[in-house]
Amino acid sequence: MAKINACRAMFAALLLSACALAGCATGDMPATAASERAPENVRIQRGRHLATTNCSTCHAIGTWGESRHPSAPPFRYLSRNYRVNELEEAFAEGVLVGHPDMPEFTLSPDDVDALLSYIQSVQERRGA
């Protein structure tokens, strides 16, 4: 348990550092109103960057490939078990579930929106 908490703390520190270096929005900035949202292609591109930076060490984040961590589902399969838009609260409050050694992290509202837009864009098409 201590190892998992240490991993979570380290990941949180790395995430904050990455956001500071990348110029991410921070929690002290106001959330963007729906009418001021970035265009979908910009949100998807931002979400892909967030997934690459924060998730790709364990998860397959694209439309193909296997996850590096055996308990980390590929992003393209998340809609098999979840409604992707319902993951918003989990990301906004800090991801506390997932594979056993998934680090806890929080994202700004704009980053949650971007990550969910990206995850939705890579979902498998059933019957296609």
Q: Could you list the residue range(s) of the whole structural domain that residue 106 is in?
A: 2-11+40-121
Using one digit for the tens of pLDDT, what is the confidence trace for 1-16? Answer: 444 433 343 433 333 3
- How many structural domains are present in the chain? 1
Distance CA(83)–CA(98), nearest Å, equals 15
Residue 26 lies in a domain: no
Provide the whole-model pTM: 0.66
Residue 16 lies in a domain: no
CATH classification at residue 83:
1.10.760.10
Residue 64 lies in a domain: yes
Residue 79 lies in a domain: yes
Residue 19 lies in a domain: no
Using one digit for the tens of pLDDT, what is the confidence trace for 88-119? Answer: 887 777 665 566 677 777 789 999 999 999 99
Distance CA(80)–CA(107), nearest Å, equals 23
- Using DSSP's 3-state secondary structure scheme, residue 38 falls into coil
Cα R_g (the chain), whole angstroms: 14
